[in-house]
Amino acid sequence: MILIARTLYGLEEVLAGELREIGAEEIRTANRAVIFKGNKRLLYRANYLSRTALAVLMQISEFSIKTKDDLYRNCMGIDWDRFLKQDQTFAVSSVVNSRIFSHSGYPALVVKDAVADWFRKKSGKRPSVDTSDPHVIINLHISGSLVNISLDSSGAPLYKRGYRRASTQAPLNEVLAAGIIKLSGWDPSSDFLDPMCGSGTLPVEAALMACSIPPGKFRDSFGFMKWPGYDPGLFEEILKESEKKVSLPKMNISGSDISGEAVKKAQINVRTAGLEEVVRIRKADFRELKAEGDSGFIVMNPPYGERLKPEALNELYSMIGSALKHNFPGYKAWIISSDKEAMKQIGLKPAKKFKVYNGPLECVLAGYNMYQGSRRKEEVKSKK
C-alpha cells in the first residue's frame, strides 16, 4: 500500500520520525504530507498512534491527464468494488491546482459521476452520495496534470482527539500542539509547564506523550472501520499492544492561566483525558509564577493581536521576557506567536526558530535558553 499522511506546514519531518517509529518504510516528505509504504496493520497504527498526522490516506490510483475527459476515463478504469459496496454511501473531497479545470469543484463531480456510472454499468445499482457522514471518503488531488486518488482512512480529522470537551477562545489544534512539543525537543524526563494554558491542549498533549497514551484512544471511530475488509481483530490487537506501553511519568506536567474560566475548562479536558493524576492545572498570573526546579521546559501560546491593543500586547510580551529571565533560570522556553513585532518585546535572543501555521496565521515558534547567571558564566562552566 502507498499511504499518505497529511499534516500541517512545518511538521513534515516530525511526522516522518513518528511514522518511522510506528514501522513505516520508504518514507518521503512532501509539502504538508509524508508518503510511505505499509500494510493494513500500519494503516491502523498510523491512525491510532500518530500525534502529528491530520489524516492518513490510502492511494488507489495515480495517473496523468491532458483533458477533463481523461479524468472520467481513468476513474472508470478503477475497480471500485474493492473499496466501496453498492449499498454504501460516499463523498468526494478534492484539492485541485490545475489549468485543465477552471472551476475547482468540477473534478469532484466528474469522479462522483464516474463512481456512480461504474456501479450502474456493473449491477444496475449505485452507491449514493452522503456529504455529512459517508461510509467512504474519496480524496482527489490534482496538481497540474498529475491526478492522485486515495481513500481517507481517518474519517473525522485526527486532531479531533475526543478529549476536548471544553474550549476557551483560540484553542490550539491538537496536532499543532503535539507538533510544537516535538519541535521543542522536550524530553519527557524534564518538567513541562504551559503558563498560559487556556483549554489545556499543550499540557494534555505533553502528558499523553509522557504516558505513551495513544492519541486515538478517545475516538469512537476511524474511517477505515466502515471499509469493506475492515479487520476488527487486527485493530483490537493494536489497542492491546499499545495499552501495555502506558505508564505514569515521573516528571511534573502542569498548566496555569490567569483566567479562572480557562482553568475550569482545562481541568475538564484533563479529566476527560483521564490525566488528573498526571497534569496539574491552577490559576496564576505568569508575572508571579516562580520555577519549582532548576530546569524544565516551558511551552506557551500567549494571546496574539486580534483581541488586544498593540500597547497591551507589547507590555504582555515584555513581561513574558522578563518573567522568563528572572523567574526561570535553567529553563528552556518555547513561544508560538503570529505577532512578530510583539515577539521582539520579549527581549531575549532565540536559540532556535521554526515557521508554523496556526490555522491561516503564519507563526514563529521561538526557543530560548534561560541561563543560570550570565550566558558567559554558563559557557565558562561548560568548558571546564
Ligand X SMILES: C[S@@+](CC[C@H](N)C(=O)[O-])C[C@H]1O[C@@H](n2cnc3c(N)ncnc32)[C@H](O)[C@@H]1O
Q: Report, in Å, the least distance between residue 188 CB and ligand X.
A: 19
Which DSSP symbol is given to 216?
G
Query: Applying CB under 6 A, what is the total number of residues that bind ligand X?
Result: 21
Per CB under 6 A, 358 contacts ligand X: no
Q: Shortest gap between Cβ of 358 and ligand X (angstroms)?
A: 9
Part of the chain binding ligand X (CB under 6 A), chosen from 35-43, 196-204, 290-298, 326-334: 196-204
Give min distance, CB of 257 to ligand X, in A: 5
List the grid coordinates of 70. 481523461
**Degrees, nearest 5: CA angle 42-46-52:** 155
Closest CB 319 distance from ligand X, rounded Å: 7
257 binds ligand X (CB under 6 A): yes
Count CB-CB contacts under 10 A for residue 311.
8
Q: Which of residues 266-285 bind ligand X (CB under 6 A)?
A: 285
Is residue 262 near ligand X by the rule CB under 6 A? yes
198 near ligand X, rule: CB under 6 A: yes
Residue 302 binds to ligand X (criterion: CB under 6 A): yes
Question: Among all chains, which residue has been given the C-alpha cell 516530525?
Answer: 14
Position 259 contacts ligand X (CB under 6 A): yes
321 touches ligand X (CB under 6 A) = no
User: Which range of residues in 35-43, 100-108, 197-205, 217-225 is near ligand X by CB under 6 A?
Assistant: 197-205
107 belongs to the binding site for ligand X (CB under 6 A): no
Q: Is the CB of 50 or the CB of 168 nearer to ligand X?
A: 168
Cβ of residue 354: shortest distance to ligand X, in angstroms?
Answer: 17
Which residue's C-beta sits nearest to ligand X? 198
Which one of residues 199, 267, 272, 337 is an interface residue with ligand X (CB under 6 A)? 199
Helices (H), the chain: 12-22, 40-49, 68-76, 106-123, 174-184, 201-210, 232-245, 260-272, 310-327, 340-344, 375-383
Classify the C-alpha dihedral 245-247-249-250 as positive or negative. Answer: negative
Binders in 202-221 for ligand X, by CB under 6 A:
202
| Shortest CB 362 distance to ligand X, Å | 16
C-alpha gyration radius of the chain: 24
Give me the least distance between CB of 240 and ligand X, in Å please: 31
CB of 351 to ligand X, least distance (A): 22
**Per-residue contact flags (x/-) with ligand X for residues 53 to 72, judged by CB under 6 A:** --------------------
Computed from CA positions of residues 280, 286, 291, 292, in that sequence, does the dihedral angle turn out positive or negative?
Answer: negative
With contact defined as beta carbons under 8 Å apart, do 378 and 330 qualify? no
3-state helix, strand, coil in the chain (%, to 5): 40, 25, 40
Of 192, 274, 223, 177, the C-alpha closest to 83 is: 223
| Inter-CA distances, 239 with 9, 140, 154, 227, Å | 29, 30, 16, 19
In this structure, the number of other CB atoms found within 10 A of the CB of residue 124 comes to 8
Which member of 195, 203, 296, 367 binds ligand X (CB under 6 A)?
195
Q: Which is nearer to ligand X, 257 or 339 (CB)?
A: 257
In whole angstroms, how far apart are CA 205 and each of 67, 167, 197, 198, 266?
Answer: 46, 15, 12, 13, 12
Show contacts with ligand X in window 151-190 (CB under 6 A): 168, 170-172
In angstroms, rounded to a whole number, what is the distance separating the alpha carbons of residues 246 and 200? 21
Inter-axis angle of helices 174-184 and 201-210, nearest 10: 60
**Pick 191 or 257: Cβ nearer ligand X:** 257
DSSP states of 247-262 as a string?
---SS-EEEEES-HHH
Q: Does 331 bind ligand X (CB under 6 A)?
A: no
What is the contact surface with ligand X in residues (CB under 6 A)? 168, 170-172, 195-199, 201-202, 257-259, 262, 285-287, 301-303
